[in-house]
Every structure is written in C-alpha cells, then in structure tokens.
C-alpha cells in the first residue's frame, strides 16, 4: 500500500542499488505480453515517489512499441511503501511508449500518464511518467433565488383626548405607509393594558377607559410579510381618570327586617327621599371625612379618605314606594320568592397574595356576576361577607390592576362594591353579613360607614382600637323572609383560627361573647314553625380546602364555643340551614348526624380557592362528632339562589355562564338532596 505525498508523480533516475533493491523486494508485476520479445538484456527502470493523503494498492501499465510490441501488467503495491520497478525483456528499438493508470483505494482519486522512450540493448533506460491525478467531484451547488419586501412603517399613532374619565371614549388614529405596497394591504391592530376598543383592527378605532390609571395602547401594522420582525409598533399613552364620586343608593335590611334606605353622595348634605308621596330629608349617618388608617398590613399606609356623606332613613314598614335621586329604591316584599346569595366579591390586591387583574372582567368577574344575578329579578340579596379586597397598591409589574384604588377609603369600596354591584343594588334589598375583611383592622371603618345596620357611633366605627372589643363583636339579628323563613345574621368577622379556652384569661371574654351571641341566635330561632337560616361569613361545619391534602373543617374558635354550648348539634335548636362564604368555592354539605345542612357561596369574584378532593373523603369530619354523608362542590365563579317552589325552597348553584351546577332541596326531615353531588366540574 502506497500513500502519495502529493498528487503528482516523479520519476527518480534509476540507480543500480535502487534497481537491485527494487528487483529483490519491489512490487511483483503480473503481465501479459504480445509480440516477439528480444531478451537482449534491455529494460526500463520506473520509479515513483508517492505522497500521503491518497492510498493506492496497484497500478497498471501498458507498453507499446515497434513491431507491434505490446505489454500490459498490473503492479501489486498492496505491501509496498514505494513504487520502483524494472521492466525487462523489452526488445531494443525506438518509438516505445508507456501509459500508467491507477486509482486510489477509496476510489476518489484517479491518476494517468504516459511517456515515450527508446530501448538500448543491454541497458536499463530510465523513463519518466508524469501522472495527472484528478479527485472525483465532492461538492454540488444550490441556486438561491432571493426576493425583497419593504416592511411597513408607522408614521403616527394618536389619541384624542389623551386623558379621559373611566367609561368615556378616546379617538385613536393610526397612520402608516408601505413603500412597495405589498405583499398585502396594510393591517392595523390595537392592544391596550386595559380598556376596550370598538374595533381593535380599525385604523382609527374608539377606545373606552374601563379602569383608572395609565394605559399603554400599542398600534401594530403589518403588510402581510410573515416575518415577525417586519411589523412596526408604536405606542401611545392614555390616562384614564376615575369618574368623580357619584351617589349610590341601596336598601339594606336590619333587625326585624327594617328596610334602611342608604345613600352615599359627594354632597355635604343628604338628598330628600319621597316615601309614598311624602318627601323628607334623609339623615346623615356619617359625614365625609378622613380618618387614620387602622392597619399596618398595608405598606405604605395611607389615611382612609371618605369624601362622601353617608345618608340613611329607615323606611316605614309597609312602604310601597320610595324614590331618591330620581329613581325608585327596591323595597322588601312581603313574601320574597327568590333570593340571590353571593360572597367574597372584591378584587384581591394584597401583598403576599396573587395580584388579581381588577380591570379584567374574566379574572375578576364580580360585575358580570352581579349583572347576571340582577337579571334574575331577585326579591332579596344575601351577601355572606368580604366585600373589600383592595388593601395594597398594585405593583408596577402587574398590568391587570394598574391604576386601581387601594387601602380602606371610599375609592376602594367604590371599586370593589358600589360600582360593580350597582345593578344588583338596584334590583333588590340586601342582607349584609360581615366578613373578616370588614373587621376593624382591615376595612371595618367602611363597614360601619356604609353597610352595618346599627346606628353609627364612635364605639362602632373601628376608628379607635379602644373600641375594637365592641365593634368587632355584634349581636345577631333576624331578617324575616315572609312569614315562614328568616335569616339570622351572625358576625364572625374577628373569629380566630384556634379554639377558645374559656378558662384562659385572654380567651374567656371572647368565648363568653360568642356564647352569648349564640344563645341570642337560639332565642331568635325559638319558633319551630319558622325555618331559620344561620348566615355568617366563616364555614362552621363545612370545609376549607388544603392543596394536595385532605380538607379541614370550619373556623375553630367558633366551633369550640358551639360544641360547648350546643353539644353534638353545634347550632341552636331549630336552625334549619347554615349559609357561609369565606372559602372561595361552592359547597353543599349534609350529615348523617343531627346538624343543619350547610352551603358555602364564596365564589362571587375574588380569586378562587383550590378544589376540594375528588372523590371527596366523607371520612373527613368538619368538626368532632359530625359525620358528613353528602358533599357537592366546585371552585368556579358564580352565585347561588334559593327560590320558593310550593311550600319549600329550592337551592341552586349557578356558574357565571348561567348553567346550574346542582339543584338541592330539603326534605321534611331536614335531609338535603342535590341533583348533582361530588365534584361538579
């Protein structure tokens, strides 16, 4: 085997020593010959100096000469490191030629050459053969056909006016050009961090502010070029201002079903109200003012600003019409047929919690829920607590809540409750249960200004910590629903997560207060002919989901008081049903033990809680001695209704899209049965 040093061949003059060596150890040609030979001792010496990079195993040669001489042979080079051969027995004469050919072992290089020589008798003639070597082609080529497109350029993106009130419009204008007018006509697309467009693909759409704050509106123009880098973008900033404080009016039902007309107004004085044709001034419940914030959970804190006057008037029983601010107030019906139940409705802005996109009605759908519930024309609304959720400022990197009001003043209350719930507050009187978000260290100041049904007083304002023991614990009251049903409203806003020990000096006052309130609830429910619904914020014998694990039961502090006061039943006698919120899901729970069935309706708009286990582990008791035998649940946005059908109530859980999750009824033996149970997905 011989390796070429380069792709050319040299002939080295043949020496006697080389020829001798070559004759003894050189390649061993095999030959064929024609024509007469003259063995007159004449020969040629052929020697090639070969290079690395190409390997050959053999070479062939053909000698032709005078008199028709022809000799061909193949030289075996497989064991050789150099080509050196003497070819003898060639008749003396002139006009010989030799041609040599070889191919590398990998077949990629072919070499060939020839030379002329004469042969002299008894002499070895050196012959030079130049080989021309050619590599086989290794590469091909491609033909690239290119095309060019000139990308579009936005010339301007404008907004007029650049500042607008929430709910009002801004005219947007876009202008762009495309130098080569292709490949397609220009397309315009507008996006915004909040707000809505009448047509986001129009060149000049109308934009409407939906939430206060700075809105980044971006115009993108494309010319049909599929390259994502070919489009052009330009942004314009629009400032959406909160609408000026506006009056809101509603009716809240207090103790004994007293219908209390309420108005909040930016005016310093209260409007007049006309009841059955008689006009009178509403009373100032609390004047506008700014009070020091009570909590340090919001950082930075700011004072609670209430630039509105809260007005009220308790309507006479049996009033048939009440008009304020130019429209009729919803008055209580003598025998309500349909009650909407909602809970946990605000938009969560709190450090340490996921930030809810308050400007996105998909992610915070309370207004949709309120509108859907209002469209059902309820006679009564029961809110099971937690109205206010906007405690901390929306961080700069959270686009979904930019510009939201925060902390505990009126602006946050307006955004979380009064504005989104306007249609539902116009539809029916409300029963308002207090949630833990409305305890004094949180939104308690607004609770007493706006929603609580008792007279406003300094010791029931949450303004001073000295009065928290009074303001955070309030006596229950009953709201009749026709002659056969009532809702007992129970304040658990400050209830803690650990059991209360009546022998502990710190726990004892709270234990005793809750025990007294429970007994009052028992007194309110003393008539066995009235179906009594116990409505409080925290689940008691219902469940709290634990992500990835078994759920836990209700609020431990209350349960410790209840189990002591009413062993086994936990509730006073004659309580037929319990209604809660706080856990952000829907639950219907019944028991084989003697406990009133429970509903949870905490899916009214705030971020939902993790789903309860599926299948639900009925072996998990919500409280000692309580054995569940039916659970229906789902963690989707929606609301509940209870509607009279014949002599009983039908309880339905609705999803936001109007579909019914389950429909439940109570038997005469107080057994809850639902059309769908378990996980209602």
Q: Name which of residues 204 to 223 contact Fe ion (CB under 5 A).
A: none
Cα–Cα distances in angstroms (integers) from residue 344 to residues 272, 371, 533, 541, in the given order:
33, 16, 19, 19
CB contact at 8 A, 565 and 502 = no
* Residue 560, helix vs strand vs coil: helix
* DSSP per-residue letters across 584-632: SSEEEEEESSS---EEEE--SSS-PPPPPPSS--TTS-SSTT--EEEEE
Residue closer to Fe ion by CB (options 457, 546) is 546
Closest Cα partner for 644 from 333, 215, 204, 293? 333
To Fe ion, the closest distance from the beta carbon of 344 in angstroms equals 6
CA–CA dist 390, 416 (Å, integer):
7
To Fe ion, the closest distance from the beta carbon of 433 in angstroms equals 10
Residue closer to Fe ion by CB (options 497, 624) is 497
Residue closer to Fe ion by CB (options 216, 607) is 607
Distance separating the N- and C-terminal Cα atoms of the chain:
79
CB contact at 8 A, 411 and 242 = yes
Residue closer to Fe ion by CB (options 61, 366) is 366
Does 606 bind Fe ion (CB under 5 A)? Our answer is no
To Fe ion, the closest distance from the beta carbon of 442 in angstroms equals 10
CB contact at 8 A, 416 and 347 = yes
CB contact at 8 A, 272 and 193 = no
Cα–Cα distances in angstroms (integers) from residue 377 to residues 151, 416, 481, in the given order:
55, 22, 16
Residue closer to Fe ion by CB (options 531, 637) is 637
Q: From the CB of residue 551, how many other CB atoms can be counted at a distance below 10 Å? A: 21
Does 539 bind Fe ion (CB under 5 A)? Our answer is no
To Fe ion, the closest distance from the beta carbon of 561 in angstroms equals 19
Closest Cα partner for 576 from 478, 477, 673, 671? 671
Q: Name which of residues 382 to 411 contact Fe ion (CB under 5 A).
A: 386
Residue closer to Fe ion by CB (options 383, 582) is 582
To Fe ion, the closest distance from the beta carbon of 435 in angstroms equals 5
Does 582 bind Fe ion (CB under 5 A)? Our answer is yes
Stretches 176-184, 249-257, 493-501, 574-582: which one binds Fe ion (CB under 5 A)? Answer: 574-582
Stretches 333-341, 428-436, 524-532, 543-551: which one binds Fe ion (CB under 5 A)? Answer: 428-436
To Fe ion, the closest distance from the beta carbon of 601 in angstroms equals 12
Stretches 35-43, 369-377, 539-547, 576-584: which one binds Fe ion (CB under 5 A)? Answer: 576-584
Per DSSP, helices labelled H in 82-203 are none
CB contact at 8 A, 648 and 588 = no
Does 436 bind Fe ion (CB under 5 A)? Our answer is yes
Residue closer to Fe ion by CB (options 232, 386) is 386
Q: Name which of residues 358 to 387 contact Fe ion (CB under 5 A).
A: 386
CA–CA dist 443, 436 (Å, integer):
9
Residue closer to Fe ion by CB (options 434, 644) is 434
CA–CA dist 85, 44 (Å, integer):
8
Per DSSP, helices labelled H in 375-463 are 410-413, 422-427, 444-446
Residue closer to Fe ion by CB (options 435, 446) is 435
Name the DSSP letter for residue 447: I
To Fe ion, the closest distance from the beta carbon of 582 in angstroms equals 4
To Fe ion, the closest distance from the beta carbon of 552 in angstroms equals 15
Q: From the CB of residue 424, how many other CB atoms can be counted at a distance below 10 Å? A: 28
Residue closer to Fe ion by CB (options 312, 386) is 386
Which tokens hold the place of 347? 């938009």
To Fe ion, the closest distance from the beta carbon of 583 in angstroms equals 8
Query: Which residue's CB atom is positioned nearest to Fe ion?
Result: 582
Q: From the CB of residue 257, how many other CB atoms can be counted at a distance below 10 Å? A: 17
To Fe ion, the closest distance from the beta carbon of 537 in angstroms equals 6
* Residue 66, helix vs strand vs coil: helix
**Residues, the chain:** 681
To Fe ion, the closest distance from the beta carbon of 538 in angstroms equals 7
Does 435 bind Fe ion (CB under 5 A)? Our answer is yes
Closest Cα partner for 479 from 434, 430, 528? 430
User: What's the sign of the alpha-carbon dihedral 567, 568, 572, 574?
Assistant: negative
To Fe ion, the closest distance from the beta carbon of 544 in angstroms equals 11
To Fe ion, the closest distance from the beta carbon of 602 in angstroms equals 7
Residue closer to Fe ion by CB (options 251, 640) is 640
CA–CA dist 407, 303 (Å, integer):
8
Residue closer to Fe ion by CB (options 285, 538) is 538
To Fe ion, the closest distance from the beta carbon of 491 in angstroms equals 13
Stretches 185-193, 230-238, 271-279, 434-442: which one binds Fe ion (CB under 5 A)? Answer: 434-442
CA–CA dist 229, 216 (Å, integer):
21
CA–CA dist 508, 501 (Å, integer):
7
Q: How many residues bind Fe ion (CB under 5 A)?
A: 4
Residue closer to Fe ion by CB (options 400, 435) is 435
Stretches 148-156, 416-424, 427-435, 556-564: which one binds Fe ion (CB under 5 A)? Answer: 427-435
Closest Cα partner for 44 from 91, 86, 12, 5? 86
* Residue 59, helix vs strand vs coil: strand
Residue closer to Fe ion by CB (options 582, 655) is 582
Residues in touch with Fe ion (CB under 5 A): 386, 435-436, 582
């Amino acid at each position: 085997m011989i390796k070429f040093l380069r792709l050319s061949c040299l002939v080295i003059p043949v020496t006697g020593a080389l020829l001798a060596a070559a004759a003894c150890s050189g390649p061993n040609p095999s030959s064929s010959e024609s024509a007469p030979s003259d063995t007159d001792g004449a020969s040629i010496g052929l020697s090639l100096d070969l290079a690395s990079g190409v390997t050959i195993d053999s070479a062939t040669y053909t000698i032709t000469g005078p008199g028709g001489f022809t000799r061909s042979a193949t030289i075996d080079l497989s064991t050789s490191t150099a080509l050196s051969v003497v070819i003898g027995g060639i008749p003396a004469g002139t006009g010989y030629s030799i041609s040599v050919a070889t191919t590398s072992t990998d077949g990629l290089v072919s070499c060939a050459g020839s030379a002329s020589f004469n042969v002299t008798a008894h002499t070895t003639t050196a012959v030079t053969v130049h080989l021309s070597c050619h590599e086989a082609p290794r590469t091909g080529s491609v033909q690239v056909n290119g095309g060019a497109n000139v990308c579009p350029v936005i010339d301007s993106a404008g907004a007029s006016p650049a500042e607008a009130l929430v709910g009002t419009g801004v005219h947007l204008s876009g202008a762009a050009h495309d130098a080569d007018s292709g490949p397609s006509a220009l397309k315009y697309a507008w996006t915004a961090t909040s707000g809505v467009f009448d047509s986001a693909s129009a060149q000049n759409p109308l934009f409407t502010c939906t939430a206060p704050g700075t809105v980044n509106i971006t115009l993108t123009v494309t010319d049909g070029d599929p390259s994502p880098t070919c489009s052009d973008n330009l942004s314009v900033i629009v400032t959406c201002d909160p609408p000026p404080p506006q009056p809101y009016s509603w009716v809240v039902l207090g103790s004994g079903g007293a219908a209390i007309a309420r108005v909040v107004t930016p005016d310093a004085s209260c409007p007049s109200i006309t009841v059955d044709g008689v006009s009178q001034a509403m009373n100032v419940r609390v004047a506008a003012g700014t009070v020091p914030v009570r909590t340090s959970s919001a950082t930075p804190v700011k004072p609670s600003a209430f630039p509105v006057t809260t007005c009220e008037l308790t309507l006479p029983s049996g009033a048939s019409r009440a008009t304020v601010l130019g429209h009729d107030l919803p008055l209580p019906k003598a025998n309500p047929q349909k009650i909407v139940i909602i809970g946990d409705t605000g938009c969560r802005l709190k450090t340490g919690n996921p930030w809810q996109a308050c400007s996105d009605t998909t992610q915070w759908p309370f207004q949709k829920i309120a509108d859907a519930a209002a469209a059902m024309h309820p006679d009564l609304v029961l809110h099971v607590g937690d109205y206010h959720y906007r405690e901390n400022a929306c961080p700069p990197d959270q686009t979904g809540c930019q510009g939201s009001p925060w902390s505990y003043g009126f602006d946050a209350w307006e955004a979380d409750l009064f504005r989104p719930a306007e249609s539902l507050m116009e539809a029916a009187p409300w029963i308002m249960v207090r949630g833990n978000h409305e305890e004094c260290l949180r939104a308690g100041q607004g609770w007493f200004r706006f929603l609580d049904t008792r007279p406003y007083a300094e010791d029931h304002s949450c303004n001073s910590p000295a009065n928290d023991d009074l303001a955070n614990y309030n006596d229950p009251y009953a709201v009749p629903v026709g002659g056969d049903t009532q809702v007992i409203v129970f304040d658990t806003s400050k209830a803690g997560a650990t059991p209360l020990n009546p022998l502990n000096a710190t726990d004892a006052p709270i234990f005793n207060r809750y025990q007294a309130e429970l007994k009052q609830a028992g007194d309110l429910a003393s008539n066995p002919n009235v179906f009594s619904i116990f409505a409080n914020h925290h689940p008691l014998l219902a469940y709290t989901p634990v992500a990835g694990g078994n759920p836990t039961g209700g609020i431990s502090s209350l349960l410790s008081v209840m189990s002591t006061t009413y062993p086994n039943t936990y509730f006073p006698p004659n309580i037929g049903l319990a209604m809660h919120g706080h856990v952000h899901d829907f639950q219907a729970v019944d028991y084989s033990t003697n406990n009133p069935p429970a509903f949870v309706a905490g899916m009214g708009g705030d971020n939902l809680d993790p789903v309860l286990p599926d299948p639900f582990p009925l072996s998990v008791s919500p409280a000692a001695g309580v054995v569940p035998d039916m659970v229906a649940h789902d963690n989707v946005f929606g609301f509940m209704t209870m509607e009279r059908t014949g002599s009983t109530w039908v309880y339905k859980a609705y999803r936001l899209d109007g579909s019914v999750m389950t429909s439940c009824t109570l038997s005469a033996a107080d057994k809850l049965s639902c059309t769908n149970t378990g996980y209602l997905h």
